[in-house]
Structure 1
Amino acid sequence: MNAMNFNSSKCLLFMLLCGILAAACEPTVHTNKLYTYTLSGDNTADAYDEAVMVACIQGILNRNTTQLYLLSDTYERPAYWLDTLSASGKWLENKEHTAIATLEELMALAGDQVKGAIIWDPDVPASLNVATTLAGLEDGIVVSPGQADLYLDRWELPIIKDFRGMFTGQETGSKKNDAYRWAIREFLETGRCDPHWLCLYEDAYMTREKGDINYVVTRDWPVRNQSFVYDLSPWGDEAPLDDPDQRLGTDLETYKLMLEAVMKLTKGKQMTEVAGFFSFPKYSNIPGYESKHDPVPTEWETVHLISPYNCYQNTVAHLCFNQSIHAQAAVGELQQGRPELKDPEGGKTYLCFLMADYDSATPLYDFLPKHWNDSARGEIPLAWGINPNLIETYPDVIQYFYDTKSPNDFFTADASAAGYMNPNRIGSAHLPLFIDHNKRFYQRLDMSLSPMVLDWDEPTAAVKDAFTQFSGDGFSTIVIDFHNAGGKLPKPHVWKEMPVMELINSACNFSTPQQTANELSLEIPAPRDGAKPAFYFFRIVWTSPSQVIAALEELRKLRPELDIEVVDPYNFFHLFKSTEG
């Protein structure tokens, strides 16, 4: 063998060995395997820290494929959905489940997909959220100082960022706001975060010591999507519980800086989902925590604040396990069909019930299965409010409900359309974006009804025009004027072929069938001889069909003079339109 051939052979052998070694260093991805890891659910700071780390690993592993599914020793819903979606014909049917028992095994699975660690500062609870944002951008895991001491050398993980002592309050007088303003400059103003998502996740201030992981297990979602995570008060007239010495309004100023940065990034080309809810004990008045603002006004103030920035909320999103897995289910446009339309009958009292408040991730994921599996479902026609934008989060869960609906189950949007916003607060220049956004989601879920539009005043002509583009079969609203600006309900009418009316809210909180029947009755006046039919659309929150049926039976006993007919939402609006037209 001459020298040239010998050297060529050595080069070839060297390249082959390098390829083998490189392949050996790559993490092994088994596309037919689904690894599971079970969180203990212990109410300790250590369990909290573990859940933070695991959620980060999950978000990284599930960014481009489905690898890691989390279970819980204390919460059965993740196991319920894993069993349901692994059944014959479901998308996880062919996945082999392999349990991982320890953090060491989990890190071995992740391999070099985890690039390093971010240490958050327990003296600045908000730094947990800043660290989570950075973890998504740098493929890192968020660790407490104690975890850093315990694991980083053992796992040979470099430190990407150490936030200890970094946020002192020098900029704003508030360590919390210093942290978020630094993150806004570093991650939003530079365009590093995906502006389609903001995550309003409660930080560690009063959760870590209790081992409350409600908004920890959700962190796979912002890590996977490289989203900005925050926890701020929408109020400018009182200091929040977690930062009582801040200058009045500092949280709100930071909130607006964040929203302005996101709106600048979107350039009017997309809307932004705010996933998560404000912290009740930090920002509103609940037993044990004094505030001048009650929870419902705080919810409405949050939506009032974010709407002009083309943001919509996916409010209750705690304990939403495995969003980074569920979101990858391949679901196309869904079909629910339409009922045969009826002719109105004089003297009738037409009732329709919106099974409401499945407009956000937790109710869809956790509450709805309980009421959906009620044996009486299908006995009467019901409207089920599911916001269509949730198809981005739990497409397989929504498909399950579509696949198992009865002919008497109909899906509509909930609060307020494809996401919870105040339509009157959307700028006129952005209404075309608002229309396109809603059209896309309504079409995908075969929806054409918006029965629970929440706002501070009756819809403007421009807003009604917008809704005719995607919700032509019906529009109803709840108006609450918390700012005392003269807001009022619309009179029932038909706007360019779209029925417009009120969604009655007084019977929403079910206690007993008798109590609900009394509330329903108070809304229905005595019938008039030969009168046109009457129409009443009621909101019922997180209640089973059997309870609604029991309340109807009580109402018929209470009001025997009424000729009551319960109809589906399509017929309800159609009958109203036929009567008024």
Structure 2
Amino acid sequence: LYGPYVELEQGNYVALFRLKLLEDVEEMVARLDACVRYGQEVLNAHTLLGADLPVNRYVRVPLPFRYFGGKLECRVWWMGMGSIRVDRVDLFRFEGDLKDFIKRAPQPKPSGKPRELAYRTEPRPFADLFPRSRAPAPTLLVADLRHYPLEWQMTLVSLQGLVNRRRPQIYLLLNPTDEWWLEMMKKRGWIEATQEVTDPKELISRYRSMVRGLIVTDPKLPATKNIATMLSGVENALIASPSIARQLDLPIVADLRGRWKRNVDAYRWAFEKLWAQLNHHVIACLYPYHVWLRDYLVQHRIFVFWISGRVDGVEPYASPDEEVRLMERLLAQMPVNIPVMGYPWAGKDVGIGEGPGVTLFSEFAKFLVGSITCSNLSVHSGIPIKVLRPPSPPPPPPLERDKVYFTFIISDGDNLPVLTVHNFPQLWRSKLRGRFPLGWTISPSAILLIPAVVEYYYRTATANDAFLCAVSGIGYCYPDHYGKRFRQPDRERIFEEFLALTATHMKSMALKDAWIMGITRPELIQRYAQGIPFLRALFPDYGRRVRSYYEATYPT
């Protein structure tokens, strides 16, 4: 529910949300908020747990906030964990002090330690930068989960990860474009046939021999969804909410209910007890209520964490500063130049945020490969494509000194869901595409994780579609901060290796131009040119606003 985008007199207000819970669940069922600027400024927010609501009876839930102008929305974010019905939202002017009702946690603050780290590496147990699946089975079992509750999606996605570890056999429809990509892979011959599974729950019976039992999450502690994802990969067990566990005749391998009071305590336990059994070359930052990526995380036993932000950080189980400082310890333990999957943002002020998150990862010489809504990576990563070549562009026009030239580039191709779900599929089908030169950013990591998707774009590109490397290389990072936590003599080596990784995968996709972000030092820009010998053009201005052409140039 969103809207109505009304403008009111400045002052204090309270929104009364009249709603009812339709089934008995304990999980977080919704988040209520009031916002302006189309969600860019959240005035107040409130989390609704099913355990706090009566079943089948309307209640009014108050949300007070201060309004200073702008188009107001009162929104309901449904979490998919239990059915609710929203009847209406009433708005009242409120006289009095709201300071006890409007809560915001401080922005998570890293400690800055450890620092002066020594260069750290260890042998990678798989051939590529990312672990990849084997080639998919000739026939894939396809189940449509788009109308299933999130708790069932979580269980079946964990099953997909376990089964596809041996060889991809299950493909789940979670996104609106999943069916389209599946048909495309069939047409290209990477998959011979598909078999529809009308009751997705039957997959559990079919693959019962591969499942030891259940990992039961704690509805009162969101972090247990991420802990359960790690345990699922380690113990070969399914993620299950308490209500799902009651429906399945499977033994309980681990019951996480009541084990911890705070998210940070759960993540600390996972670091101390599970780290030795997990993948040390990939890590994931994932909001506990996001389900899509988890097949790949279970499949490859990847550590999953979340750092609370100003909105979710006010919950009694959250402690943002302790969470970010625990992750400083973990990031320091990992090899340099490895990817962080997922995304550190799940809505305005939910999570540490994009900028602070990418800065933190960059300081520890890690780069972000945005992938929160990527589904079926346990299938996509197994498509056997090693090298891709786009069509040759037309020759450039002769340049004249008395003219100013522009180039138009579509941003955000560093985020894999932009390629699979969001901007690109819609923009790519525009009838205007191909009529004028246009640059499309794309992550060099895409050829490893979604090679068939990249092949589609390259194959259907016109001569006016040019591809270039997205920010800021093999993954999203801020070069000014890259490797900052390491000793000065090691920083150059770390950045050289980052550029070498970037060059290798740019070459496999025939990318010759790059758009970089978070870089102001001319010597670093020069190192891009030196470290990527075939680099043709470099755009170091991402996100920068300038008053003149001269401010947009970087003499090197």
Normalising by structure 2, we get a TM-score of: 0.68
TM-aligned CA distance change 1:229 to 1:344, over 3 Å: same
In the alignment, which residue of structure 1 is the partner of 2:16?
Answer: none
2:207 to 94, 103, 110: 110
Shift of 1:243: 3.1
Task: Summarize the Cα distance change of 1:244–1:283 in structure 2 as closer, same or farther, 3 Å threshold.
Answer: farther
Kindly provide the CA deviation profile for residues 147-187 of structure 1, in whole angstroms up to 9, marking residues without a partner as x: 22221xx3xx333221112113xxxxxx1100011111122
Letter in 2 for 1:114: V
CA distance in 1, matches of 2:541, 2:272: 38
Q: What's the CA shift string for 1:251-276, capped at 9, x where partnerless?
A: 22122122123x2xx2x4x4223323
Give the 3 Å change call, closer, same or farther, for CA 413–112 of structure 1 in structure 2: same
| Partner residue of 2:271 out of 184, 207, 216 | 184
Shift in alpha-carbon separation, 1:460–1:196, aligned structure 2, 3 A: farther
| 2:362 paired with 1:307 | yes
Aligned in 2, Cα 1:120/1:303: closer, same or farther, shift over 3 Å? Answer: same
Q: Is the 8 A contact 1:239 1:248 kept in 2?
A: no
Q: C-alpha distance in 1, partners of 2:206/2:312? A: 41
Contact 1:458–1:479, Cα closer than 8 Å, also in 2: no
Match of 2:497 among 426, 433, 436: 433
Q: Tell me if the contact between 1:423 and 1:463 (Cα under 8 Å) persists in the aligned partners.
A: no
1:91 matched residue in structure 2? 190
Q: Which residue of 2 aligns with 1:55?
A: 157
2:279 corresponds to which residue?
194
Are residues 274 and 103 of structure 1, via their aligned partners in 2, closer, same or farther at CA, if it must alter by over 3 Å?
closer
Rate the CA distance shift 1:391–1:162 in 2: closer, same or farther, 3 A. same
Query: Contact conserved, 2:416 with 2:443, CA < 8 A, in 1?
Result: no
Opposite residue 418 of structure 2, the aligned amino acid is P
Higher helix share: 1
2:169 and 2:198 mapped to 1: Cα distance? 15
Q: 2:343 — aligned with what?
A: 276
Q: Supply the distance in 1 between the matched residues of 2:206 and 2:279 (Cα, whole angstroms).
A: 27
For residues 271 and 246 of structure 1, the distance between their equivalents in structure 2, rounded to whole angstroms, comes to: 27
Equivalent of residue 163 in structure 1, options 240, 256, 262: 256
Equivalent positions of 1:133-172 (< 5 A) are: 133-151=230-248, 154=249, 157-168=250-261
1:198–1:273 CA contact under 8 A, matched in 2: yes
Counterpart amino acid of residue 239 in structure 2: V
For 1:250, the equivalent position in structure 2 comes to 322
User: Partner of 1:454 in structure 2?
Assistant: 517
- Code of the aligned partner of 1:66: P
CA distance in 2 between partners of 1:309 and 1:255 (Å): 10
The answer to whether structure 1 residue 130 and structure 2 residue 191 are counterparts is no
- Mapping of 1:467-486 within 5 angstroms? 467-470=529-532, 472-478=535-541
Moved more, 120-129 or 240-249: 240-249
The Cα shift of 1:134 comes to 1.3
CA distance in 2, matches of 1:37, 1:62: 14
Amino acid at match of 2:538: F
Aligned pairs for 1:260-409 (under 5 A) are 260-261=332-333, 263=334, 266=335, 268=336, 270-281=337-348, 283=350, 298-315=353-370, 317-336=371-390, 337=392, 339-367=394-422, 368-409=424-465
Q: CA deviation at 1:438?
A: 0.6
Shift, 1:460, TM fit? 4.1
How far, CA to CA, are the matches of 1:195 and 1:141 in structure 2? 22
SS in 1 for 2:155: helix
Superimposed CA distance per residue, residues 68-117 of structure 1 (whole angstroms, 9 cap, x where no aligned partner): 11125xx5311111122222x3422x2x2112233542013213122221
Could you report, residue by residue, the CA deviation over 1:228-259 in whole angstroms, capped at 9, with x for unpaired residues?
111113x6xx6843535756622221221221
- CA gap of 1:32–1:491, structure 2 versus 1, over 3 A, is closer
Q: What is the deviation of 1:392?
A: 2.2
Q: Rate the CA distance shift 1:282–1:347 in 2: closer, same or farther, 3 A.
A: closer
Where 2:325 maps in the other structure, the secondary structure is helix
Residue pairs, 1:69-88, within 5 angstroms: 69-72=171-174, 75-87=175-187
> What secondary structure is seen at the aligned counterpart in 1 of 2:521?
coil
SS state at 1:358 partner:
coil
Percent identity between matched residues is 23
CA contact (8 A) 2:144 2:200 kept: no
User: Tell me, what secondary structure is at the counterpart of 2:462?
Assistant: coil
Which of the pair is proportionally richer in strand? 2
Q: Which amino acid aligns with 2:498?
A: F
Q: 1:63 to 1:350 in 2, by over 3 A?
A: same
Deviation at 1:445, TM superposition (A): 0.7
Task: Return the alpha-carbon distance in structure 1 between the equivalents of residues 468 and 524 of structure 2.
Answer: 22
* Residue identity opposite 1:224 in structure 2: Q
Query: 1:394: how far off?
Result: 1.0
Whole-angstrom distance in 2 between the partners of 1:323 and 1:247:
32
For the 8 Å contact 2:339–2:369, the answer to whether it is kept is: no
Calculate the TM-score normalised by the size of structure 1.
0.65
Which consecutive unaligned segments of at least 5 residues does structure 2 have? 1-134, 484-490
1:228 is the counterpart of 2:303:
yes
Give 5+ residue unaligned stretches, structure 1: 1-28, 169-174, 205-214, 285-292, 483-488, 496-581
Aligned to 1:412: 468
How has the CA–CA distance of structure 1 residues 273 and 58 changed in structure 2, closer, same or farther, with 3 Å as cutoff?
A: same
> Which amino acid is 1:194 matched to?
N
2-side partners of 1:481 and 1:377: how far apart? Answer: 26
Aligned to 1:492: 553
Q: Hey, what's the Cα distance between the residues in 2 that align with 1:254 and 1:460?
A: 34
Answer with 366-375 or 158-167: which moved more. 158-167
Query: How far, CA to CA, are the matches of 1:492 and 1:464 in structure 2?
Result: 13
What is the CA distance between 1:120 and its match in structure 2?
1.3
Cα distance between partner residues in 2 of 1:326 and 1:122: 31
Give aligned pairs, total.
408
What is the CA-CA distance between 1:354 and the residue it aligns to? 0.5
Structure possessing the higher radius of gyration over alpha carbons:
1
